[in-house]
Structure 1
Amino acid sequence: MSFQFRFLFLLLLFLRYMMLTFITTQKAQKVEMKYLLVLCLLIFTDGSSAWRRFFRGRSKDGLGTPNLSRDHNLADDLWFQQELDHFDPTNTQTWHQRYFMNKQFYKPGGPVFIMIGGEGEASAKWMAEGQWIEYAKQFRALCFQLEHRFYGKSHPTQDLSIKNLIYLTSEQALADLAYFIEGMTHLHQISSGTKFIVFGGSYPGSLAAWMRMKYPHLVHGAVSSSGPLLAKIDFQEYYTVVEDALKTHSQACVDSIAAANKQFHAMLRHRIGQQDLSKLFKLCDPLDPAATKKNDISNLYETIASNFAEVVQYNKDNRDSSKTANITIDTICDVLVDEKQGIPIERLGAVNNLLLKANNETCLDYRYMKMIDELRNVSWKAEASEGGRQWFYQTCTEFGFFQTSTARPELFSEMFPVDFFVQQCTDVFGPRYNIHLLESSVERSNLLYGGLHIEVSNVVYVHGSIDPWHALGITKSSNPLTPAIYINGTAHCANMYPALPSDLPDLVKARQKVGAIIRDWLK
């Protein structure tokens, strides 16, 4: 029920109550007062949430955690003192960064493996299982995982205000890793000839490659999984890959989405259609010409498109932290091609409701300003502080990565072009954060790291064909010092999770190939 509707209903009830005070008994007045109090509570109670489980190509859980095969005594939280600003020697502020350690498999003289934390909370589960742990067993490695500054429990500042977020950059994160390596080397008396190998998936996959490039005297090799290396504002290729992934089920699946999009657009033009859409998609606030703004509609289109992006990006991976892990491309496409479930728009609504139910959500929140207000919250206790505000800041100041509808308007509409995302940067962080800042920031990132022309050695790039992020990564390489492994049929960071009997043969081979490359590095 929308706020406006609740308010109007309450007003009418209040007027009724005032009339009853003159024509009814005291008992009747008390009964009506009870109803009035209940409606007052409804005004301030809203079961919806402005925050989304999948935002800007990032799961609310970040990378996610491996699906553990058994119970483990998980690693304890450990803390390492870092400088707030590694590049200003006059700034002496420090803070404590969380990390985990596993020395169960370590043999003196063995290598040191570091898993790089990223745009979400680090998990001790990664210290127990995951493909990198299998490599650690094989090569008798000492293992560390370092949580990224400003994510999880690693809070360098009192809040997430803009004056503090200036210390949230990939450069500072890489410097954190460099000082961490030096600190652990001293603390654990690691010999000078020890080889350090870094691992990362998604944004940490980028950091892994950049770490080897920037600090080759500290890091001997890097496994970069699903890491986007090219900063780009209009990441229109993202939904091109999503469409191609859906086609692996059938062309009929894609055709159904396109047909539903046309019906959606037509229904938005009249009142009855808006009412039907509100019911079909279980919108938290019914579409209302008087209250629904253009940005609300754009956000609605983008949110529905994100349903498909989330399923595609994490298709059939072995994550434990995802409520939608059992919902795959096949699951949603089976619904979309099933004519027994109605016309295309009804099937699209069924997919939306399937995901709402899986996430224990009662309605779809599409209000633009609700989202903006949540992203503006600078408190560590805010829902967006689990990574949403931080990652959004990094996209607005370093990478872009805006997944627009530019390349696929017939499939997901043309309602969320690049301007829609740039406007969000301005609305959340202020007028300075505009297209001009974005252009210079993206240019700077590609200048710092080289984009797809990065000059580095001892890095292996691993990507899945279904993962939309592979479009900004290196999937082919003729350089034996920087091989690329492209896995057909797999999604985001699939090679990092624990193996399953159902894993595709190409995925099994990819894990084996990475192991062989690490062996060569350690010779």
Structure 2
Amino acid sequence: MAASGSSTLVFSSSFAIVTIVTVIAISSPVPSLASKPSNLPSPKRLPGFLSKHWHPITPQQRLQYQYETRYFYQRLDHFSFADLPRFPQRYLINSQHWVGPSRLGPIFLYCGNEGDIEWFAVNSGFVWEIAPRFGAMVLFPEHRYYGESMPYGSRDEAYKNATTLAYLTAEQALADFTVLVTDLKRNLSAEACPVVLFGGSYGGMLAAWMRLKYPHVAIGALASSAPILQFEDIVPPETFYNIVSNDFKRESTSCFNTIKESWAALISEGLRENGLAQLTKTFHMCRELTSTGDLINWLEDAYSYLAMVDYPYPSAFMMPLPGYPIREVCRKIDGLPSGTSIPERIFEGVSIYYNYTGEADCFELDDDPHGLDGWNWQACTEMVMPISSSREASMFQTYDYNYSDFQKECWKNFRVVPRPKWITMQFGGHDIKTALEKFGSNIIFSNGLLDPWSGDSVLQNISETIVALVTDEGAHHIDLRPSTPEDPDWLVEQRATEIKLIQGWINDYWEAKKTTFDM
């Protein structure tokens, strides 16, 4: 029985290929940036789309959907003629329901995000579920420098320094996807088969950008929770944390206030004699805290990711969580007896995110203490997304975006200078309405307003073919997740609208091909 809810809906290669057959099932990030005194939090960068605490794929998730795992040897640099080593890009492919080139069977391509592609495959059930009705092939290419798609033979070599990381960019990733699908179509004599793009979060950004950059390769894109406007000064930098804060405040004002007051309480405790040892004990840390700032970052991560996955049903997208997890966090914080300290309340609440199953005995702050992961590199080069926290609307500590501090920390970590205007130079962003209206078509921007990334996306229809689907109760690319019996009516309606729009793109393409053939 669908849950009720009040939500508004607005409108083969010349190179070696290795193949592995796998079976999966569909089931229902952020170091500090600049050096500061040890008990104070550091200047901020937006949380990564993919949590460093993401939950591994379980054996139960490897049951239903059959696909082949293949590797395509990509150029390291698509935009030069330098003789550089190629690298194996992993991709997942399922042609079980594909009607083939003779019937112009579509190819559904999911633009791989900043992580293991299998994880995105098992969490993108919508693509798998609609493929049979369209007679579509399903293709999940992995993003370079993530998962198994490592240049230079290993992660250690690929992440060695700024020189080896230099080819980790969005534009190189889009070229990978384009070269792969073009080569695949050629080998299958399927050059005329239409390609439809899908992506969520960073993958949604890539899907929208690929449609704009390579319109001759893909006929349309579903860009779910794609914050393509979170650059320079296009949107206010406090947008992200304001939405996170509103998500908590709508559940409980007292919960919001407790979290807002907690930062001062934690810093004060950390400054006391043996205060860090006490906080270590209160928050059940595996190793003793060396700064209150590390604890604050850990908590901020949890609140941000809870807002992203505030789904109306239980899920295990990032961590195993109950339905409406923010509601459960606030119940814990508010429900403790009078006299319970603020740090104790915060621990009980955040345990919903970090330990809902009750299996963890203690917690590690960060599995990558140096922050030298792929997303941090991208954030320090071209994916420069300003963030701040407002005094009144935010439950987080107040701070302004400081590009100078950000730049210094990027140089310290990677010996690289950010290029904050490069993304808008490449893909646009300023005056997005005019740009999309004049030069774009066949893109769905879907967003749920509980998702903190929604404030940085396209929330209004631009034209008849650039459509915004906005839901009041939706969270981070919930429409791409597998369908469940608990899906609320508004989500069922949203997916039906997306299917209708995609079918329209394909029908128009087929009709144009038929007209060309008749001529």
Same fold (TM over 0.5): yes
C-alpha distance 70-90 of structure 1, shift in aligned 2 (>3 A) = closer
Instruction: Check the 8 A contact 2:74/2:88 in 1, yes or no.
Output: yes
Q: Deviations over 1:456-485 (max 9, x none)?
A: 111000111111111211111241110001
Partner letter of residue 336 of structure 1? I
For 1:99-118, list aligned pairs within 5 A: 99-108=91-100, 109=103, 110-118=105-113
1:93 Cα deviation from its structure 2 partner = 2.9
1:92 Cα deviation from its structure 2 partner = 4.8
Q: Which residue of 2 aligns with 1:467?
A: 451
1:216 Cα deviation from its structure 2 partner = 0.6
Q: Which residue of 2 aligns with 1:312?
A: 307
Q: Deviations over 1:262-298 (max 9, x none)?
A: 43243334326545433222344545xxxx5xxx433
Q: Which residue of 1 aligns with 2:90?
A: 98
Partner letter of residue 326 of structure 2? I
1:365 Cα deviation from its structure 2 partner = 4.7
1:421 Cα deviation from its structure 2 partner = 4.9
C-alpha distance 72-129 of structure 1, shift in aligned 2 (>3 A) = farther
Per the alignment, in what secondary structure is the counterpart of residue 150 of structure 1? coil
Per the alignment, in what secondary structure is the counterpart of residue 123 of structure 1? helix
1:353 Cα deviation from its structure 2 partner = 4.1
For 1:242-281, list aligned pairs within 5 A: 242-271=244-273, 273-281=275-283
Q: Which residue of 2 aligns with 1:510?
A: 494
Q: Which residue of 2 aligns with 1:40?
A: none
Distance in 2 between residues matched to 1:349 and 1:469, nearest whole Å: 26
Partner letter of residue 337 of structure 2? K
Distance in 2 between residues matched to 1:60 and 1:403, nearest whole Å: 19
Partner letter of residue 155 of structure 1? M
Q: Which residue of 1 aligns with 2:477?
A: 493
C-alpha distance 421-339 of structure 1, shift in aligned 2 (>3 A) = farther
Instruction: Check the 8 A contact 1:467/1:490 in 2, yes or no.
Output: yes
Q: Which residue of 2 aligns with 1:334?
A: 331
**Higher RCO by CA contacts (8 Å cutoff, separation 6 or greater):** 2
1:172 Cα deviation from its structure 2 partner = 0.5
Per the alignment, in what secondary structure is the counterpart of residue 75 of structure 1? strand
Distance in 1 between residues matched to 2:399 and 2:284, nearest whole Å: 20
Q: Which residue of 1 aligns with 2:515?
A: none
Q: Which residue of 2 aligns with 1:77?
A: 69
Q: Deviations over 1:313-341 (max 9, x none)?
A: 11226754543323711110101111427
Q: Deviations over 1:149-180 (max 9, x none)?
A: 11111112232122111011001011111111
Instruction: Check the 8 A contact 2:448/2:476 in 1, yes or no.
Output: yes
Per the alignment, in what secondary structure is the counterpart of residue 227 of structure 1? coil
For 1:151-190, list aligned pairs within 5 A: 151-158=146-153, 159=157, 160-161=159-160, 162-190=162-190
1:191 Cα deviation from its structure 2 partner = 4.2
C-alpha distance 276-60 of structure 1, shift in aligned 2 (>3 A) = closer
Q: Deviations over 1:332-360 (max 9, x none)?
A: 01011114272433211222345443485
Instruction: Check the 8 A contact 2:238/2:387 in 1, yes or no.
Output: yes
Q: Which residue of 1 aligns with 2:346?
A: 348
For residue 384 of structure 2, the aligned residue among 394, 400, 405 is 400
Q: Which residue of 2 aligns with 1:443?
A: 421
2:143 matches 1:148: yes
Distance in 2 between residues matched to 1:522 and 1:393, nearest whole Å: 37
1:399 Cα deviation from its structure 2 partner = 1.4
Structure with more of its chain in helix, by fraction: 1
C-alpha distance 65-417 of structure 1, shift in aligned 2 (>3 A) = farther
Instruction: Check the 8 A contact 1:76/1:124 in 2, yes or no.
Output: no
1:128 Cα deviation from its structure 2 partner = 10
Instruction: Check the 8 A contact 1:100/1:127 in 2, yes or no.
Output: no
Identity across the alignment (%) = 25
2:195 matches 1:196: yes
1:124 Cα deviation from its structure 2 partner = 7.6
- The higher radius of gyration belongs to 1
Structure 2 unaligned residues grouped into runs of 5+: 1-45, 508-519
Q: Which residue of 2 aligns with 1:480?
A: 464
1:398 Cα deviation from its structure 2 partner = 0.9
Distance in 2 between residues matched to 1:175 and 1:489, nearest whole Å: 35
Paired residues in the alignment total 440
Instruction: Check the 8 A contact 1:149/1:168 in 2, yes or no.
Output: yes
For residue 295 of structure 2, the aligned residue among 292, 295, 300 is 300
